[in-house]
Each structure stands twice: as structure tokens, then as C-alpha cells.
């Protein structure tokens, strides 16, 4: 099975009518015909139409999307899985939502940055045009503004790490929460600052907002050592950080040593799925019922990878625990979540093979 | 050296053809390379093709059914049956059969996908995929293993034991063509294997229940719900749909019987499977399959199963690519001294009909 979009929020009456009409369309659904008229009408997966493509920098664009049905909503800072067909093949990627959830037109936006070696970002940045249809998956992510809003905020971002923070800033602006905000942002040159006009505009119109831009072609990137000078009261602020892994690592160390780690919120672009961070599981064997193959996995190897290594043909999608394409029913055994280290698993439970390792011997209906 | 025992269609003695093992390995390498070349080349144009066929099929189906509802006018009735028949043929052949082979799985589309597709036929996709993709495509033309070789009812190979019932096969062969959709659905459940202990009764019950659900929904759609929209003219509309289903059955049956039965197609004994290499498998697919020649429209309506040889070599390559690789497959055949059996429908049909008549007798 291939990854599929989120289930749209369809009015109940419409769903009931479509269900009643199914007898005329079996083995297809009314959707199969309606989608040919307008792809946005699909009720089995949420689609969106690209309404605008706005260039932000030489290698980043903001793509504004009209969801086919009422937007399910998101918390500022969360990301969205988005599916596009590139050269005939569907690909799914996660992008931070850069729009404010309270947008009156109900549109959402993402701001991909070009990665030359990638497949999806070159398509979105160079080829995507208004009118194109994309598939919209689930909204995920725990890097969000807490409720109630913190009174004093510090944002630290670098490069395209600005994207989730832009959604937060827009939300704070709408909710008048910009009374005491410091934002430290690094980018290579002034021209490389994504949302430059918007950021500078918000800073100018809100006396409580201070924006420090650092251009790394001339100056070194922000480090925790700069905090005493640029934001001496950083310990009293809720800090939201988004950027490359080494920046985040430095912040974690600094907050751990001199601040309150509880007040540092951050997002890593790549989820950490590896044995060392998950706290050393025992590993075990996995038996795949349908192919009748057996695999041995160490504590850091996902069930999916272990199965593929012995030749099992298994469903997969995102390979990072988001899309639920890879799920299988657990027949027996316990599993360890590689992201949290948590051991779980009851018989009959449906589990994601891409982010769970066996903890002992496991049988899975896949 | 691998020694292959092959049987030809008539009562001549078994031919024993010796093919050097090295040649078979070279054959496998050449065909593997062709397969990977096409796979690597698949892209937006291929995706657009199958989407276009699907859209056209749904348009024809909607149009055909709309005309049927106007069936008090005779031309509308005739036109409706014609459009619906073409739609149903496209749905089963160029779309259903090929999607369920996984020919379009590379697109990673959640619907146009062998694991998700369900077709407009009374057999379930699951049961058909097992019988067809696994049994027929793995054991192609192995007597006693390929259940599609005559469907256990027709004697289509002199090596198949004669039974007095076969005297009637020209007659019930016609009946089979008319009801092919239903016959396949029942046959593919392999209920006879319960008696032989190869399948549990519980599994058979599960399969039967799935078939009953699927067939029930199909019957309600075609003969109850849809005709009811025509009010008092419902019986006429139902007859129109019946006509489309029967014509489709006859057409599918025709194309299927042209695949492996015409003169020249070789069959094999079970010993062929012992130690069969990839090259041996490719060779068996080539010499056991027969192509049909015709226009692009004919190939489309045949679901490109008219390129039976290419399909059996590469069952999961998109059907739209078979025509393009056919000359190269033919060249490979010629280089390796293998027969490339191909003819127009009329000739192949005649050959199959003669064989069915001849083999009705001991």
C-alpha cells in the first residue's frame, strides 16, 4: 500500500449521501468519478490546490494551498506531510506549516527550500504552479507554542529553521503576543533570509519585538555564548529553537548547564531514530507471517529494516513514524519505540514497523 | 547442459530439445537487462497514460449507462450496450488485469495499486490474484500445475487424459465462453483442492463468503439498483447490462484462450520445474505463449494481452510498453533459436477451435 492523505473533514450529510450511492458504483466509490471532475472533491483523502507560489529567496518559495475541505487545523510550529507526483511517482515529505492557523481564507502555506539532491523540493521550488493538486497528509509535531502563550519568548533559528517559527510569529501577532520577544536568526546573506520583509516588518511595527539577524558569510553563526550580550535575560524566557543539529546540540548543552532545560523547546529536522538515543533495547527476532520469513534485529533496528534485509516485501511510507503506511498487527511479543525508548505492545495491537524495534521475540502479521 | 522435454500440440513424439545452460543464462541476462531498462525509463508519460485510460473508461461507463436509461429509443439501447461493453472490457483487461499485476505500483498511487484495486467482476481481486498471478504465471503451461490450461474442463493438450465427457467439449466450451466471468470466479477458489486435502474447509468457507459478498454487490448494482432508475423499463435496462456482461465474457474468454493454446505453443511436464533456472523459466514463458497481431485499438481492447509473450516475460511491466519492446523480444527469440508465436486473431482462433474439436475425441 502506498501512503495516502489525511481523511478530510466532510460534512456528515454529504458522507451519508455518498455512502448511500455506493451500490451504484461498486466496486468503486462515487469518489472515483467525482475526483475526475474535481480532484479536491475526494472524501477519502484530503487534497489541496496550489493557489500561489511566491518567491522568498533565490532557493525558497512559499506555496499557498487551498485545502479541498475545511482545514483540520494545526498548532503553530507543526508540520504537514504533503504528497506530490514527480515524474509519475508519488513522493511524500514533511514541511513545516508557515501560515497562521487563524487565516481567514482557510488556506495554509509551506515554504520549501531547494535541496539540489532532493526529488520533491526541486519540484516544489522550481516546477510547482498555481492550479496543481497536492495530497495533504497528517499534521504532526510537538514543537508548538504552549497555551497559554508564554509572556516572554526567545526564538533562535537558522536557515530554513525559520519556517515553523514564522507560523508562531504570525499567531503571536494575531493574538497580540509580541510584547516581549527576542528573535536571533542566522542566514548566509541578507538575501538568503526567508521571510525577510515580513520579519523586519513585524519587528518594526511591534516595539516589544527585537530581531537580531546574523549573516554568516561575514560573521559566525549565533552561539550560546552570544546570549549574554544579545539577550541577557534568556533564562527567564521560553525559548523556541529550530535549525541544524549542531546548533540545537549546543543549545541543549548550554540550557542543561546554565539554564532550565524545561524551558527550551526545539525541533530537529531529522527525527532521531537510532539505537543510541533510544536507550539500548535488547533487540530480538521478528517473524513475518505472510512471507514466513524470520529476521534478527538488534535493539536499534526497526522491524521494517530488519524485514527488508531478509527479503520481506513490506509496506512503507515515510519511514519516520508519521504516515502509518507500514503498520502491521502484532500477533505476539513486545516492541520498543526507537524515538522514545518506551517498551509496549499487546497482542492484536497495530504497530508501526518503521519506528519500532523488537524487544524479544515478535510475530507480526505482515 | 539442461535437457528440456517439450511437447508439441499434435500427436508427434515428444521432442527433446537440448539447450546449452550457458545460452539460457545469456537469455536471462538479456531479458533482465531489457526489464531494468524499461523500469528505469518509466515516468510521467506512463502515469498519464493509465490515468487517461481510467478516465476514458469511466466516461464510457457513465455514458453507456446514461444511454441505457433512455432505452425506450432503440438506438440508445444499442449504443448503451455498446459503450458499456467497451467500458467493461477496458475495465477488466487494460485496467483491472494489469493494475492487479502490479504494473502500476511504481507510481505509489494509493488507488492505482495492486494491493488496493478491486475490479468490476464477480471474482474478488484477492482470489483472482492468487490463481492468476501466482499459479498461472509461475507454472505457465505445466500440465497438472497450470490450472488455466483448459480450466480442468477442456482438453486442450493431447497429454491431458481423455474422458468421455470431452465429447461434449465443443458444446460446453460455448457455454463456458458465455459465462466466463462466473466460471473463473468459482474455479479460482479451487474448491476441488479441499477434497484432496490441499485446502482447509474453513479457508474454502472464507473464500466462498468473500465471493458471495462481492458477487452479491455486483448483481445488485448491474441488475437491481441501476435498472431501477429506469422505472417500469427496468427489465429492458437489466437485459442491456446482461448483454454487456455476456459480450465481455465472450471477448475475455477469446483473448485468454488465444494466449497459450494455439498451434505452436509448447506445454511441459512437471519435471520441467526441477532445477529450472531463471533462463529456463523465461524460455518456457516464451515458447508457451502466443501473441495476437492487430491495430492499436485491438491491443487496447485486449488489455495488451495480445502481447502475451512480453506479458509473460514481464508480467509487472506496464502494458503500454509491450508494443514497444516486442520487436526487441522477437530479436532475442530469434538469436536464441526460440519460436516467437504470433498471428492474427482469425488464424489463432481457427487453430484453437480445431484443437478443441480434435481433442474432444480420444
Between positions 139 and 158 of A, the ones with CB within 8 A of B are: none
Residue B332 Cα, gap to closest chain A Cα (Å): 30
Classify A246 as helix, strand or coil.
helix
Query: Where does the pLDDT of residue A348 fall: very low under 50, low under 70, confident under 90, or very high at 90 and above?
Result: confident
The Cα B221–Cα B238 span in angstroms is 10
pLDDT band at residue A3 using 50, 70 and 90 as cut-offs: confident
Distances from the Cα of B341 to the Cα of A191, A201, B72, B326, B347, angstroms: 66, 74, 47, 12, 12
CB contact under 8 A, B221 and A23: yes
Per-position DSSP letters for A178-232, written without gaps between them = -SSEEEEEEESSGGG-TTHHHHHHHHHH-TTEEEEEEETTTSPPP-GGGHHHH-T
Q: Give the contacts of A195 (CB within 8 A, at least 6 positions apart).
A: A56, A98, A111, A162, A166
How many residues are there in chain B? 362
Query: Is B282 within 8 Å of chain A by CB?
Result: no
Q: Which residues of chain B have pLDDT under 50?
A: 1-16, 18
Q: Do B113 and A2 touch (CB under 8 A)?
A: yes
Q: Which of B87, B109, B125 to mutate to test the interface with A (most CBs of A within 10 A)?
A: B109
CB–CB of A88 and B43 under 8 A? yes
User: How large is the ipTM?
Assistant: 0.89
Chain B CB contacts of A137 below 8 Å: none
A-chain CB neighbours of B43 within 8 Å are 87-89
Residue B12: per-residue pLDDT: 36
Write down the pLDDT at residue B171: 95
Residue reference for cell 475425441? B361
Distance from CA of B1 to the nearest CA of A (A): 31
- pLDDT, tens only, A89-112: 998 888 999 999 989 999 999 999
Nearest neighbour of A2 by CB, restricted to B48, B108, B221: B108
Tell me, what DSSP letter sits at residue B346? Answer: H
The shortest CB-CB distance from A87 to any of B44, B217, B221 is to B44
- Distance (Å) from the alpha carbon of A152 to chain B's nearest alpha carbon: 45
pLDDT of residue B3: 40
Give me the residue from A25, A36, A89 closest to B107, CB to CB. Answer: A89
Question: Tens of pLDDT along A107-140?
Answer: 999 999 998 888 899 999 999 999 999 999 989 8
Whether chain B has a CB inside 8 Å of the CB on A32: the answer is yes
Task: Please state whether the predicted TM-score (pTM) of the whole model is above 0.95.
Answer: no
Amino acid at each position: 500500500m502506498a501512503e495516502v492523505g489525511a481523511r478530510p473533514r466532510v460534512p456528515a450529510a454529504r458522507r451519508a449521501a455518498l455512502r448511500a450511492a455506493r451500490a451504484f458504483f461498486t466496486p468503486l466509490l462515487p469518489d472515483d468519478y467525482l475526483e475526475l471532475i474535481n480532484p479536491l472533491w475526494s472524501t477519502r483523502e484530503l487534497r489541496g490546490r496550489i493557489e500561489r507560489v511566491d518567491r522568498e529567496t533565490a532557493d525558497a518559495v512559499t506555496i499557498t494551498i487551498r485545502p479541498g475541505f475545511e482545514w483540520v487545523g494545526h498548532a503553530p510550529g507543526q508540520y504537514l506531510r504533503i504528497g506530490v507526483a514527480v515524474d509519475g511517482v508519488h513522493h511524500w515529505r514533511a514541511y513545516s506549516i508557515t501560515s497562521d492557523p487563524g487565516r481567514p481564507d482557510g488556506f495554509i502555506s509551506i515554504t520549501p527550500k531547494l535541496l539540489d539532491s532532493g526529488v520533491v523540493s526541486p519540484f516544489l521550488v522550481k516546477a510547482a504552479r498555481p492550479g496543481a493538486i497536492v495530497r495533504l497528509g497528517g499534521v504532526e509535531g510537538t514543537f508548538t507554542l504552549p497555551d497559554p502563550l508564554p509572556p516572554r519568548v526567545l526564538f533562535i533559528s537558522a536557515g530554513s529553521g525559520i519556517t515553523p517559527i514564522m507560523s508562531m510569529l504570525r499567531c503571536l501577532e494575531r493574538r497580540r503576543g509580541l510584547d516581549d520577544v527576542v528573535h536571533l536568526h542566522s542566514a548566509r546573506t541578507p538575501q538568503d533570509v526567508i521571510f525577510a520583509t515580513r520579519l523586519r516588518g513585524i519587528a518594526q511595527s511591534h516595539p516589544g519585538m527585537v530581531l537580531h539577524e546574523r549573516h554568516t558569510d561575514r560573521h559566525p553563526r549565533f552561539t550560546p555564548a552570544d546570549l549574554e550580550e544579545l539577550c541577557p535575560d534568556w533564562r527567564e524566557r521560553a525559548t523556541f529553537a529550530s535549525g541544524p543539529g549542531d546548533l540545537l546540540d549546543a543549545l541543549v548543552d548550554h540550557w542543561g548547564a546554565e539554564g532550565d532545560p524545561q524551558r527550551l523547546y526545539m525541533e530537529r529536522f531529522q527525527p532521531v531514530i537510532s539505537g543510541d538515543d533510544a536507550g539500548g533495547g535488547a533487540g530480538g527476532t521478528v517473524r513475518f507471517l505472510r512471507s514466513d520469513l524470520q529476521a534478527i534485529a538488534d535493539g536499534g533496528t526497526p522491524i521494517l529494516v530488519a524485514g527488508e534485509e531478509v527479503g520481506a516485501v513490506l509496506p512503507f511510507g515515510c519511514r519516520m513514524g508519521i504516515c502509518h503506511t507500514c503498520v502491521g498487527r502484532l500477533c505476539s511479543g513486545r516492541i520498543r519505540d526507537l524515538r522514545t525508548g518506551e517498551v509496549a505492545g499487546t497482542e492484536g495491537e497495530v504497530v508501526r514497523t518503521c519506528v519500532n524495534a523488537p524487544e524479544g521475540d515478535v510475530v507480526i502479521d505482515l | 547442459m539442461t535437457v528440456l522435454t517439450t511437447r508439441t500440440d499434435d500427436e508427434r513424439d515428444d521432442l527433446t530439445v537440448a539447450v546449452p545452460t550457458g545460452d539460457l543464462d545469456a537469455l536471462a541476462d538479456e531479458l533482465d537487462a531489457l526489464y531494468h531498462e524499461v523500469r528505469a525509463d518509466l515516468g510521467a508519460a506512463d502515469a498519464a497514460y493509465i490515468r487517461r485510460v481510467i478516465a476514458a473508461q469511466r466516461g464510457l461507463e457513465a455514458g453507456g449507462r446514461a444511454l441505457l436509461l433512455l432505452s425506450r429509443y432503440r438506438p440508445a439501447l444499442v449504443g448503451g450496450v455498446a459503450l458499456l461493453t467497451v467500458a467493461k472490457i477496458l475495465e477488466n483487461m487494460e485496467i483491472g488485469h494489469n493494475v492487479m499485476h502490479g504494473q502500476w505500483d511504481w507510481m505509489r498511487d494509493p488507488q492505482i495499486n495492486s494491493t488496493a484495486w478491486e475490479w468490476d467482476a464477480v471474482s474478488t481481486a484477492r482470489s483472482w490474484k492468487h490463481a492468476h498471478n501466482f499459479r498461472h504465471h509461475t507454472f505457465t503451461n505445466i500440465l497438472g500445475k497450470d490450472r488455466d490450461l483448459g480450466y480442468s474442463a477442456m482438453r486442450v493438450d493431447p497429454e491431458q487424459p481423455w474422458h468421455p465427457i470431452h465429447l461434449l467439449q465443443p458444446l460446453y466450451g460455448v457455454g463456458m465462453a458465455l459465462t466466463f466471468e462466473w466460471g473463473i470466479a468459482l474455479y479460482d477458489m479451487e474448491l476441488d483442492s479441499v477434497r484432496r486435502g490441499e485446502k482447509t474447509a474453513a479457508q474454502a468457507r472464507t473464500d466462498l463468503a468473500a465471493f458471495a459478498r462481492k458477487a452479491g454487490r455486483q448483481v445488485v448494482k448491474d441488475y437491481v439498483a441501476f435498472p431501477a432508475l429506469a422505472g417500469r423499463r427496468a427489465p429492458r435496462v437489466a437485459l442491456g447490462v446482461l448483454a454487456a456482461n455476456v459480450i465481455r465474457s465472450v471477448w475475455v474468454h477469446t483473448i485468454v484462450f488465444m494466449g497459450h493454446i494455439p498451434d505452436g505453443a509448447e506445454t511441459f511436464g512437471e519435471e520441467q520445474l526441477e532445477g529450472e533456472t531463471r533462463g529456463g523459466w523465461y524460455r518456457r514463458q516464451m515458447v508457451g505463449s502466443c501473441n495476437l497481431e492487430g491495430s492499436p485499438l485491438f491491443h487496447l481492447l485486449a488489455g495488451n494481452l495480445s502481447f502475451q509473450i512480453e506479458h509473460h516475460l514481464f508480467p509487472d511491466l506496464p502494458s503500454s510498453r509491450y508494443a514497444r519492446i516486442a520487436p526487441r523480444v522477437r530479436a532475442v527469440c530469434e538469436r536464441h533459436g526460440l519460436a516467437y508465436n504470433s498471428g492474427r486473431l482469425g488464424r489463432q482462433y481457427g487453430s484453437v477451435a480445431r484443437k478443441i474439436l480434435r481433442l474432444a475425441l480420444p
